[in-house]
Structure 1
């Protein structure tokens, strides 16, 4: 089954997000666990969760992806910034157990001048503090564009983080098409080669989700600016090929493209569904 959705506002709860996804022929969705710049998370309403589960069962929604706020940086040099990240991760992963078996995505962090090796060690240490043996949530490290001091712009950096995590069975990867393109991986000209490189470094069994975005920048720009599907340098055909690739086609795809309303994402979903092999 082709599973695709977009990034929705969580302000009105799980049921409303599922209803919005279904209204544009989506069968998954993504949302921020709290304000993307940080802050306190909204209390979870058990009645809303129950209504969501009932609606989701009737509409073929089995998977969603929660996204950590951008301000969280477990690779920070300042102890207080790292502690904030650890506290936020702990809270988010606890909250995720209200909807068991789902996915939680995070940007690995920025080493802020300490060097990638130090950043990798700090991220792994933070994950070792927050992951628990009994959690049902799979935490995903997102592939990054490699701008500034971001960790995760190369597959080997994500592999090194995972290697340092004791409960590594709880950790996977979310591949962002804009990010890997901006990071220098040519998914338009050599998708098979990029996936082979991913498999060698990390293992395709670790890949649990795809952020499907076009890019406003040429290959290797290291800038991370998303574009609507087919309106960037990657192009519609290449992104459609991602959704049809045998190694990827059964994963959930999440649009983070710049759209003003649901209709814009609905049009992208319709076009991608039309080009998706049965």
Structure 2
């Protein structure tokens, strides 16, 4: 059985017509499914868990937040994930390969049923993600983009303001080979290439190798901070001399300057410590 979790407010509600179109296509092809909509933040977890009791494939229709919640509902069950990229940020869909497809193409991919494995990351022994766990500039961009006060501003304007206002902080980072303090603009446990709606953070990242990429942008100067942003646009961030990268499967990140905002696949949390590890893999439907 097929299950669908749709977030009707994703992409400011502009994906409702696309969801109806997909349902019409499924109905025309005689495909049975169970359809659920989220109403409030957190609903996707409960709906993912509910559908996992009777469905072997679950569609998360929305942005990265919808995928995040749905994943946290069904993880550990014998369920295959399909993503409909209907959000403002669709990084998970980009990594899976379904971003930019038409509704007809998405249904064709779904019915073809081709799958592969994708790593899942567990943060602080609790929540699961497939994009990133990060603090610093990118989490600040996501926070400011979600702020209703910035609703009329362009993404680029919000991003530049966030970068300008972000300040470096101290972190103690421990892996199997690293135990040191960093003064950093950005720290990310990066499971896939992009974050924040398509920003190429770690071009070398692999989402199915049983590891993630720990990436740290060490603070040097304000000018270097902006040059790092330019290098990200050019997909060359990891080549910068002030960028530390290590591929690993476990890391502890302690925020030495106190509590701050963390992004888990675009969902914001307040943390002082991040303990991140590979939790396992899920099956995802791919083109």
When the two structures are superposed, what TM-score results if normalisation uses the length of structure 2? 0.24
Of structures 1 and 2, the one scoring higher in RCO (CA 8 A, sep 6+) is: 2
Structure in which a larger fraction of residues adopt strand? 2
Whose radius of gyration is greater, 1 or 2? 2
Structure (1 or 2) with the greater helix fraction: 1
